[in-house]
């Protein structure tokens, strides 16, 4: 069940229909497994870690293969999306991460089959299926992982078995390394615009790190500060080549940088140390149990350098299994701590899922009719969910549409303590314009315009504000900007703005 929950399809019980159900199910089932495993250890019941790991790996490989069949079926019926295959995920990176974790586990199980040729060939077919699906994701990090896997398997399979001379081994290893480095370089040159955008995000993130390198900006520091930093850059460099690429950014696409911005230099150092522990245990203690997890863990590390793997449950599961394997010989105190943590996780998951379902119900009711009962339900949820900026933004939007401008203004200001993004600035501008706070509305629209120079909505807001205040000169200036502005992605909304305000 834990493996299958990593690939749950869309569930309309929550506002986040793709990612949140996976998190709830994985947290619930992993916690129950931990509870039963801990009880068995406390009662001194025999539990073979290798056997349990093989069962978990096999179930995950089978679940991943099922996801691959679903993705390939969609690709045959509808074609591959321009961004790459998504499967049951919100982003190709999520699917690619799960595939990169499952492929080495499948290879390991194929090698352990011994004389069971049918089972071995079944695992080989599943691995080939996963490789084909990984190619459909168009994930550059996934391709790099695949090339590194190939290099490792060539070394282990061919180099040690068929080449006896040490000199030949060295030459073969160098050739394989050169081919892999060349392949990695070739993959990294794809999607030049995306690579340039990533570089820009890291540059702005480094500016935030330099402000507080040791203590960071605190919880939600990146979400609260990054878009402000991006707006400051484009305000100083309005003709920058990055203006056409800039968009709403929620993550620096590097887990170590994200932790550094939020919590200071110690946080990424700890994460790197935790990731290194299984490798140190394998080299120093020859821990065979952890050997099949080394390549999956390396894929988590590689994705951490170029993406956000810890947004998906599989990265946490791999890390937890690796650490659990290392500290499995812990005393009774550690096992009691694990038991209590697992029970607390189950309780938290149930409570949080209940509130998320209530929010989703109120959110869907707001589409049909904005009445006081909907706002009362939002207010009842506010006490528990006030640290969720998605909820605060949605609550503010609902209050604004219900013409409760005072409540909407207070909520959007509260949301700013957790998240300052393009959409929040745009909503704040609309709220202030409707509440006749025109000077504040102009400030919010201008901030949104500098955050994402490629967008047209802030210009429309400025035009309407200047129109209602009778500022003809600024209104005509905005109309000229709209007429001359380059369109990145054509849409009916942009075409309407072009036609109405130029």
pLDDT in tens, 467-495: 999 999 999 999 999 988 888 877 888 88
Degrees (nearest 5) of the Cα angle 136, 194, 99? 30
Could you give the number of structural domains in the chain? Answer: 1
pLDDT in tens, 277-330: 888 888 877 667 788 889 999 999 999 999 999 999 999 999 888 877 766 655
Residue at 269 is within a domain = yes
d(C-alpha 373, C-alpha 377), whole Å = 6
Residue at 11 is within a domain = yes
What is the residue range of 20's domain? 2-191+255-341
Q: How far is CA 452 from CA 193, 232, 459, in A?
A: 16, 11, 11
Residue at 318 is within a domain = yes
Is the distance from CB of 96 to CB of 312 less than 8 angstroms?
A: no
Extract the tokens encoding 133.
Answer: 């699906």
pLDDT of 264 strictly over 70: yes
Residue at 383 is within a domain = no
pTM equals: 0.91
Residue at 176 is within a domain = yes
Residue at 93 is within a domain = yes
pLDDT score of 448: 97
Q: What is the mean pLDDT of the chain?
A: 86
pLDDT in tens, 219-234: 999 999 999 999 999 9
Burial (Cβ within 10 Å: 0-12, 13-18, ≥19) of residue 112: middle
Stretch among 171-175, 268-272, 338-342, 469-473 having the lowest mean pLDDT: 171-175
Residue at 429 is within a domain = no
Q: How far is CA 416 from CA 407, 409, 480, in A?
A: 14, 11, 31
Residue at 279 is within a domain = yes
């Amino acid at each position: 069940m834990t493996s299958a929950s990593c690939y749950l399809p869309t569930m309309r019980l929550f506002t986040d229909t793709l990612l949140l159900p996976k998190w709830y199910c994985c947290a619930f089932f992993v916690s129950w497994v931990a509870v039963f495993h801990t009880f068995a250890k406390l009662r001194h019941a025999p539990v073979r870690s290798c056997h349990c790991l093989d069962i978990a790996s096999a179930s995950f490989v089978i679940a991943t293969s099922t996801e691959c069949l679903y993705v390939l079926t969609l690709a045959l019926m509808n074609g591959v999306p321009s961004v790459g295959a998504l499967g049951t995920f919100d982003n190709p990176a999520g699917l690619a991460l799960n595939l990169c974790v499952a492929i080495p586990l499948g290879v390991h199980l194929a090698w352990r089959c011994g004389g069971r040729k049918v089972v071995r060939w079944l695992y080989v077919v599943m691995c080939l299926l996963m490789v084909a699906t990984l190619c459909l994701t168009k994930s550059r990090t996934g391709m790099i992982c695949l090339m590194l896997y190939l290099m490792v398997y060539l070394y282990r399979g061919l180099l040690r078995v068929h080449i006896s001379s040490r000199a030949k081994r060295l030459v073969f290893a160098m050739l394989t390394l050169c081919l892999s480095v060349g392949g990695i370089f070739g993959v990294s040159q794809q999607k030049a615009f995306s690579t340039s955008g990533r570089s820009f995000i890291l540059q702005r993130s480094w500016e935030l790190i330099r402000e507080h390198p040791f203590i960071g900006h605190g919880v939600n520091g990146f979400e609260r500060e990054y878009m402000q930093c991006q707006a400051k850059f484009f305000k100083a460099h309005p003709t920058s080549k990055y203006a056409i690429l800039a968009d709403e950014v929620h993550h620096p696409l590097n887990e170590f940088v994200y932790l550094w911005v939020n919590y200071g230099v110690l946080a990424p150092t700890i994460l790197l140390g935790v990731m290194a522990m299984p490798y140190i245990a394998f080299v120093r203690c020859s821990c065979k149990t952890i050997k099949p997890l080394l390549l999956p863990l390396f894929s988590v590390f590689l994705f951490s350098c170029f993406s956000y793997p810890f947004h998906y449950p599989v990265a946490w599961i791999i890390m937890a299994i690796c650490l659990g394997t290392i500290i499995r010989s812990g005393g009774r105190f550690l096992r009691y701590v694990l038991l209590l943590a697992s029970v607390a996780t189950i309780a938290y998951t149930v409570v949080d899922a209940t509130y998320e379902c209530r929010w989703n119900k109120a959110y869907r009711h707001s589409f049909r009719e904005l009445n006081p009962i909907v706002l009362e339900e939002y207010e009842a949820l506010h006490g528990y969910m006030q640290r969720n900026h998605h909820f605060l933004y949605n609550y503010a939007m609902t209050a604004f549409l219900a013409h409760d401008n005072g409540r909407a203004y207070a909520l959007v200001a509260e949301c700013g303590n957790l998240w300052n993004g393009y959409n929040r600035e745009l909503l704040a501008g609309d709220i202030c314009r409707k509440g006749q706070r025109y000077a504040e509305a102009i400030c919010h629209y201008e901030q949104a315009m500098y955050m994402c120079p490629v967008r047209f909505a802030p210009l429309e807001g400025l035009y309407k504000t200047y129109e209602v205040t009778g500022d003809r000169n600024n209104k005509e200036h905005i109309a000229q900007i709209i007429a001359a502005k380059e369109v990145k992605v054509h849409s009916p909304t942009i075409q309407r703005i072009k036609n109405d305000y130029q």
